[in-house]
Chain A
Amino acid sequence: MKQAEIDQQTTCYHCGNDCADERIELEEKVFCCNGCKEVYSILNQSGLCSYYAYNEHPGVSQAKASKRLDYLKEPSIIRELIDYSDEKFTIVTFYIPDIHCSSCIWLLEHLNKLNPGIYQCRVDFLRKQVNIRYSTQSITLHEVVELLDRIGYEPLISLQDVVKKQAIDKKDNLVKKIAVAGFCFGNVMLLSFPEYLGISVYEQSFRQFFGWLNLAFCLPVILYSGTSYFKSAWANLRNKVLNIDFPLALGIAVLFVRTAVEILTRTGPGFADTLCGLVFFLSIGKFVQRKTYYHLSFERDYRSFFPVAVQVVEGETERPVPLSDLQVGQRILIRNNEIIPADAILLKGDARIDFSFVTGESVPVSKVLGEVVYAGGRQTDQAIELEVVKPVSQSYLTRLWNNEAFTRRQENKIQTFSEKISKYFTIALLVIAFGSFFLWAPFDMARAISAFTAVLIIACPCALALSTPFTMSAALSIFDKNLFYLKNTTVVEQLAHIDTIVLDKTGTITISGDTAIMSHINATEAEKQMIYSVCTNSTHPLSRLICQYLDYYTKLNTNSYYEVPGRGITADVGGHFIRIGSAKFVDVMQAEASSAKKTEVHISIDERYIGFFVIEQHYRDGISSVQSLSPAYRLYLLSGDHGHERESLSSVFSIEDMFFERTPQEKLDFIKQLQQNGHKVMMIGDGLNDAGALKQSDLGIAITDNVNNFSPGSDAILDGRSLKKLPIFLKFSKDALRVIYISFCISLTYNVVGLSYAVSGKLSPLIAAILMPLSTFTIISFTSLATHLAAKKRKLL
């Protein structure tokens, strides 16, 4: 109890953050920042404090820079965003990444108490969306967003509204098809039972009646639920591909024709139950395969990273302009923490631009007036004015998306096992079917036809078609639990075939912005000032870090400044000769400078050794496990950064496999080169600069510290905390593939057993009706059990 009280005192009432640095008190409650306090007071005034009753500290820290929302007054932008609008009300859907608990749902669904102009709010928790219906007359979109922002739920508005697009893609009625197939399956089973149990001679009229009903139930199954197999098989045949859908479609068609003929000619009961069951199970397999992550998007490109609108300066006035309308020659105003949307020339202000997302370089870069600033950089100082020199779509960074890797369809990805095997399976199936037909044909034509159709029915690869989706979806959910989100089930197989891994540096194996600098210098304040002054002249990231570290001096005049690239700098400050650079450059003999593993910057003044700085990049936990992949997989490092960490990384990568200062285009080409040499390449990256390489690679993994944040388009998203599990993931993907192989053998055994009945031409509907569901259930239970056992063995569960 006492502990709880202490906690209460030191953590923010709103967000639960530590209030060590700043304490703001209001009504005996402590807040970490003004933002949190303000949210509390807004809620308190409106009597919405139940928000705090459902969960402890439900809020999200408000200690962040607020954004301008002026662009939401532009009619053209409003039109893009809203779902529906008339004079009375408007409906809009926002994606709010901060939705995380039941308090969030409660508060967002009570917005009406904060502003009566809002009629109704509906939260979709998994999609992190809120659907708002508000009065067009009394409140504007701008005010709605402002209100959300004020209570700490800032919607993420981007040009590429991914979430909405997903909703449209999903409408292929698979659930309805399953419902119809299931409905028919159940009824047909019921009506088929009398046949199996035996109908007495007195009740022969029922046999006819049940037969007709069965046939009627088959119609919707074949005409509605099963159509996709016919379409797919036909499309593949036209492309001269034999995939698994062909024997399936053939099986379904033969089942139906034989059932119809037997019932219409009154020669037998047909296979109505097998037909309906087959389509029902297959549809369920399809459904299982389709895993959706509501809150993730694998299709993002630069548009969801860039702002929706940018402030354009025209004479004395400024107005927001949608990014798509931005023209060459316009002057744009970029404030602190805003992203420069197009290549532009700096006209006014002090530009210190963080290009970490574009180049991987973690230290902000200063630009002088008249210099071209590439799109994608984030201004980290006061507002600057720039003139646009290239349209958004043609900028240095966005040009990458014009590459063919983004336009061609994804066909060259690794062929899946079932794709490979189904070709041979189909051929073998046709050979057996025709073989048994011609075997019987000379003696008994009816029996030949019966054998031919029976082979096609019994060998219909239902279990085979189900083994992959069930194994893969089980694997997918295991990856999911370990914070590794795969785009779809085929990615698991791709993962198993990888032989080369390419990693980006900044943000991927390092955490961007997380560098530690330690001073081992023995200098007076005046000397430190000199060091600072010399370093400000250099754009080298290490100099920048030293400047940041010593950032409280006024700059002195430096003369005869000279920089030897990759070695160090010399300069004259007030008559003192200063050398800053590598141990060799400064000519250090001291024993203390011997640790070669770390990045060090040595300093001497007037040939007197002062000491050195140690710069340590913090690597992710997973770096050592990445290292352990080395003999089995070829590891490459591909960085946009300068090579000043080459040595500290040499423990993980061999020197000749590290590549620095690569542009986004060069990264893409590098991957392509590897692929042309026959490698299956997995690219792990995080920034927009990796987007091309991620797309080009056989398997692109975007790594991120917060899955709600922007991550470039990829095949999988990996939470940074799980990087250390990467070797296990790779092993597990191979396990999953092994499960598929085994389940394939099992389903083949069932087929062989069934075929022994079928070729003789004496397939009873009862055997078909038993064999089909039996094999299906075996496969489903085997695959899910085996996959979970494999996951347990790998300690993923």
Chain B
Amino acid sequence: MSIIYFLIGCSVLLALVFLGAFFWAQRNGQHDDLYTPSVRILLDDEPDETEPKK
């Protein structure tokens, strides 16, 4: 059953990595604007050579 020590160590370490990732995202400003990216992703990148529609 000593394996439990190792497994718990792994799980805590993994959780810490996720916590760190969350902190990094927070510091990076990824949670500052929670709305605009949802719109932005629907806007197409337009190749330069195509004629504008209409």
Contacts and interface: CB of A to CB of B under 8 A. Distances in A.
B33 A126 contact: yes
Interface string A176-209: 1001100100110011000000000001001001
B26 A123 contact: no
A50 B52 contact: yes
A125 B26 contact: no
Contacts of A180: 19
Contact of B23 (A44, A125, A126, A176): A176
Given A179-B23, A183-B15, A53 B39 contact: no
Interface in A78-133: 102, 105-106, 109, 123-127
B54 A49 contact: yes
A49 B54 CA distance: 8
Contacts of B36: 105, 123-126
A109 B40 contact: yes
A127 B19 CA distance: 28
Nearest to A220: B19
Interface residues of A, number: 30
A329 interface: no
B39 A102 contact: yes
A47 B46 CA distance: 10
Nearest to B50: A47
A54 B33 contact: no
A102 B26 contact: no
B19 A125 contact: no
A555 to B, nearest CB: 53
Contact of B53 (A53, A102, A176, A179): A53
Nearest to B37: A125
Given A124-B32, A126-B33, A213-B8, A105 B43 contact: yes
Nearest to B33: A124
Contacts of B33: 124-127
Contacts of B15: 183, 186-187
A143 B11 CA distance: 55
A179 B22 contact: yes
A48 interface: yes
A213 B7 CA distance: 13
A664 B48 CA distance: 58
A710 interface: no
A745 to B, nearest CB: 36
Contacts of A44: 52
A53 B54 contact: yes
A180 B26 CA distance: 13
A52 interface: yes
A175 interface: yes
A54 B46 CA distance: 13
B52 A48 contact: yes
Contacts of B8: 191, 209, 213
A123 B46 CA distance: 18
Interface in B2-16: 4-5, 8, 11-12, 15
A275 to B, nearest CB: 18
A503 B46 CA distance: 53
Interface string B26-48: 10000111111001101110101
Nearest to A126: B35
A186 B15 CA distance: 10
Given A175-B31, A186-B15, A213-B8, A49 B23 contact: no
A355 B4 CA distance: 78
Contacts of B42: 102
Interface in A127-186: 127, 175-176, 179-180, 183, 186
A439 to B, nearest CB: 41
Task: Name the residue among A106, A180, A203 with the largest chain B CB count within 10 angstroms.
Answer: A106
B6 to A, nearest CB: 12
Contacts of A187: 11-12, 15
A203 B1 contact: yes
A52 B54 CA distance: 9
A209 B1 contact: no
A206 B15 CA distance: 20
A102 B43 CA distance: 8
A49 B52 contact: yes
Nearest to B43: A106
Contacts of A105: 36, 39-40, 43
A209 B5 contact: yes
Contacts of A106: 43
Contact of A49 (B12, B40, B53): B53
Nearest to A109: B40
Contacts of B40: 105, 109
Contact of A175 (B1, B26, B53): B26
Which 5 pairs of residues, A with B, have the shortest CB-CB distance?
A49-B52, A125-B36, A124-B33, A102-B39, A183-B19
21 contacts: A44-B52, A49-B54, A50-B53, A53-B53, A53-B54, A102-B39, A102-B42, A105-B39, A105-B43, A109-B40, A109-B43, A124-B33, A125-B33, A126-B33, A126-B35, A179-B26, A187-B15, A203-B1, A209-B5, A209-B8, A213-B12
Interface of A: 44, 47-50, 52-54, 102, 105-106, 109, 123-127, 175-176, 179-180, 183, 186-187, 190-191, 203, 206, 209, 213
Given A50-B53, A125-B39, 7 more contacts: A44-B52, A49-B53, A105-B36, A106-B43, A126-B34, A186-B15, A191-B8
